[in-house]
Chain A
Amino acid sequence: MSRLITRRKVITTALTALGGASGLAVAARLADWYGLIPPDYAGLYGAGETLTYASHRLFTARGSLAREFTPDQISKVAPVNGPPPRAFDYQQLVRRGFTNWRLDIDGLVARPSSFSLADLHGFPVSRQITHQACEEGWSFIAEWIGVPLSYVLNLVGASPQARYVVFYAYDDDWESIDMADASHPQTLLAYGMNGSELPPPHGAPLRLRLPRQLGYKSIKYLAQISVVDSLKDIGDGTGSSAPGYGYSWYAGI
């Protein structure tokens, strides 16, 4: 085989490289357009994260439902990771039975709103008995009672430009989900658990319930919801506080 570097070889190689690079660029644009790129796509593990998120989004595209269970399968033990926030403003809410608590919704919505717990109780009630697994390995089954997030988003008139829903909590945690999850019928704003009010350690007065993802995605102690078209300018741009601690934004596995 000749080892000569010919002009033809140089041109062919350059064209192949150019074609490959622009092909990749087009593929990345398309994947982003179809919502297949997670906000923590960069870095050492980004390729794995992107493959997982993209394949799950395609695989669950028909709005598959998380498994539901029967009342006799509800776990007697439902542990939590850590106590409720010790911050004064949260403790004040607990002392007053959350009567002065409000959920603010802003961003890309026609009617920015502020709901009390009583307002939320007045909306259509949805109940689910679902499995909640912590990424650490333990899990439990519980009944969750609340209002579908999609109902609230319709009520405030979320814009068609919306791509993510961002959640802010009293423990300074923040989280975001894509519209596939936000419009999913099992995605709840939960104020009740196992037939009672949501206990403070489980996120009172209101938490997200997202049964197609692991527990840490179901953010507790909600204070504010923002509808956005990009996560780039929020926090460090990786979509939630989890990547800052080394945990992936998408937690469907």
Chain B
Amino acid sequence: MRHSTLVRVTHWLTAGSFIALTVSGVAILLAHPRLYWGETGAVGTPSLIDLPLPFLLTGQSGWGRYLHFLSAWIAVLTGIAYVLGGMRTRHFKQDLLRPARPAKYNIVQRVTYIAVVFVLFPMMIWTGLAMSPAVTSVLPILVTSVGGQQSARTIHFIVAGLLVLFVVGHVAMVALAGFRRQVAAMIVGGEASVPQVQT
């Protein structure tokens, strides 16, 4: 199978923005590495999770926020292009939802990819916007539906963790399947997912 140009371009844009979102997300988190539930939370109120990390107030949340929102825009616009492209080529339907036999991907792969694209990424956007006082002034349901601004922050952190786990698993499987060949296929569009001939 040959990866289409759209898949290759959106893959690397997503990869780059995901790294930037993770790095900047950690920079923001370190300003207050404590998570709460409900509307409010601060030092002096009960927390849900106290991460074993230092409170770092060296201004890194400033560039962290600038970089986070820039890369969020790239990730979201890329994601829209990817989903529209996948619907146009019937990739989601034919390869993931109702795959032909023999299926290209096994059941674990299919469930994981559907969850990442249609559950986890949308949850990141939703909980991210739920922390914005300007966005929730128009759509308060974004934040009331998750029980408050601090709940949104906590869910945003947990789902980010799940996405990082997914990326670790994804890279591990690429390595098992032949790292150079798979990565080359995602860059130049050569043959991928073809078992290598044992010699």
User: CB distance B69 to A73 under 8 Å?
Assistant: no
Closest B residue to A137 by CB, please name it.
B32
A144 to chain B, nearest CB (A): 14
Size of chain B's interface in residues, with CB distance under 8 A? 39
B131 to chain A, nearest CB (A): 7
User: CB distance B73 to A139 under 8 Å?
Assistant: no
Interface of B is mostly: helix
User: CB distance A212 to B65 under 8 Å?
Assistant: no
A86 to chain B, nearest CB (A): 19
Our pick among A67, A73, A136 for the contact of B140 (Cβ within 8 Å) is A67
Any A CB within 8 A of the CB of B89: no
Closest B residue to A253 by CB, please name it.
B132
User: CB distance A213 to B134 under 8 Å?
Assistant: yes
Closest B residue to A51 by CB, please name it.
B73
Closest A residue to B132 by CB, please name it.
A253
Contact with B along A203-230 (1 / 0, CB 8 A): 0000000011110000000000000000
Our pick among B73, B133, B135 for the contact of A131 (Cβ within 8 Å) is B133
30 A/B residue pairs, CB under 8 Å, sorted by A = A44-B66, A45-B66, A45-B67, A45-B69, A45-B70, A48-B67, A48-B73, A52-B73, A60-B137, A64-B138, A67-B136, A67-B137, A67-B140, A79-B43, A131-B133, A136-B32, A137-B28, A137-B31, A138-B32, A138-B34, A139-B40, A139-B149, A212-B133, A246-B59, A246-B62, A246-B63, A247-B61, A252-B135, A253-B69, A253-B131
